[in-house]
Amino acid sequence: MASWKVTFPCTRDEAEAIDFEGAALLDIDPAPVLLTSETIPDDPASWQLEAYFDGKPNSAAIAAVQALAPSSDGVRPALEKLRDEDWVTMSQAGIEPVHAGRFYVHTEHNRGIVPPGARAFRIDAGLAFGTGTHETTAGCLRTLDELKVSGKRVRNLLDLGTGTGLLAFAALHLWPGAYATASDIDPRSIEVTAENAGLNHVALGEGMGQLALAVAPGMQHPLLIGRAPYDLIIANILAGPLVELAPTVSMALAEGGTLVLAGLLQDQADTVARAYRRQGLRLAGRIDNGAWPALRLVKRARYGADRVTRPGPGGVGEAPGFGSW
């Protein structure tokens, strides 16, 4: 049976909000595979949604996919019959590998030649948002690499809103003896992270050198709370949630700890940094990848409640006024 592709315009916000295996597609059998990508670099309004079908889709299936991108309402879909080839390979062929710091990120079909000394990670497209090719992820990878080069010691880290697990994997590579946690509000993202951990030989678990996983909105999970405070928190999400989470994320960061923020645009950086300065953090560094900055902040010493007497899993004691999480 021939495969078909349907393409719609969408926005970056719509792309990030798509539930790739959600109820909207349950009536389509077999379900299409969805991919999102930029059509104009650094323009959040210029993205596209591609749906790959086994067989020619009917109008109901096309409408169900189009409903995932409300901004495409009224737009005639681009319907294309594909040649008898492996369309998964075709769809990922245009995703270039990323070499950021000591890391090299690729999909199954574009491994290429790994640079000498680089740690390669395979992160395939299509199941969770982000493949490591986006400038925000590359900026985070470079920031982590620079932290290691500078001598930063990390015993306990959190990748908040992990997506595919890539940044948690990279951090564990740099600090292999650390306790590590990765969380996401989307259960499918945590499933994908577990799958990617297997592909990339990352051990799962709650011990040193292992990655613990949690489905959680923000910091609202006993595992995330119980393992605080963190020497390093990475949050590659959107500007709005970053601002909203500033009080609880800052509280979970140890004094002198480092916070890496990304997923925001240039004109949102000051607003996000200001929200964390109000919580006692200072801007210590910044990497600009096109329109997508990655911010590095450090929590000032002796700021806030002295709520935990020792860092890492097993820390004890919470002061009054700890917060909503």
Task: Output the domain CATH number for residue 290.
Answer: 3.40.50.150
* Angle between helix 166-174 and 135-149 (nearest 10): 10
pTM, two decimal places: 0.69
Answer yes or no: is 74 a known binding residue: no
Task: Mark whether 76 and 143 lie in a shared domain.
Answer: no
Question: Into how many domains does the chain fold?
Answer: 2
- Measured from the Cβ of residue 102, the count of other Cβ atoms closer than 10 Å reads 18
Q: Domain for residue 155, yes or no?
A: yes
Task: Mark whether 245 and 167 lie in a shared domain.
Answer: yes
CA atoms of 251 and 245, how far apart (whole Å): 10
Q: Domain for residue 122, yes or no?
A: no
Q: How far is CA 179 from CA 96, 218, 271, in A?
A: 32, 19, 31
Task: Mark whether 54 and 150 lie in a shared domain.
Answer: no
Q: Which two tokens stand for residue 314?
A: 């097993």
Task: Mark whether 160 and 217 lie in a shared domain.
Answer: yes
Task: Mark whether 257 and 147 lie in a shared domain.
Answer: yes
Answer yes or no: is 159 a known binding residue: no
Answer yes or no: is 236 a known binding residue: yes
Task: Mark whether 286 and 151 lie in a shared domain.
Answer: yes
- Which residue in this structure is represented by tokens 């949690």? 214
Q: Domain for residue 172, yes or no?
A: yes
Task: Mark whether 203 and 291 lie in a shared domain.
Answer: yes
Q: Domain for residue 309, yes or no?
A: no
Q: Domain for residue 265, yes or no?
A: yes
Q: Domain for residue 306, yes or no?
A: no
Task: Mark whether 263 and 169 lie in a shared domain.
Answer: yes
Task: Mark whether 87 and 140 lie in a shared domain.
Answer: no
Mean pLDDT by runs of 10 across the 325 residues of the chain is 85 82 71 80 86 87 92 91 57 66 86 90 61 70 96 97 93 97 91 93 97 95 97 92 95 97 89 96 90 92 50 40 26
Task: Mark whether 286 and 140 lie in a shared domain.
Answer: yes
For the chain, list the strands marked E by DSSP: 3-10, 33-38, 47-54, 78-81, 98-100, 103-106, 119-122, 156-160, 179-184, 211-215, 230-236, 253-262, 281-289, 292-299
- Please identify, among 32, 63, 93, the residue that sits at the C-terminal boundary of a domain: 93
Q: Domain for residue 320, yes or no?
A: no
Answer yes or no: is 161 a known binding residue: yes
Task: Mark whether 149 and 281 lie in a shared domain.
Answer: yes
User: What CATH number is attached to the domain comprising 86?
Assistant: 3.30.70.260
Decide if 157 contacts 208 (C-beta within 8 A). Answer: no
Task: Mark whether 81 and 143 lie in a shared domain.
Answer: no
Q: Domain for residue 178, yes or no?
A: yes
Q: State the residue range of the domain holding 222.
A: 135-299
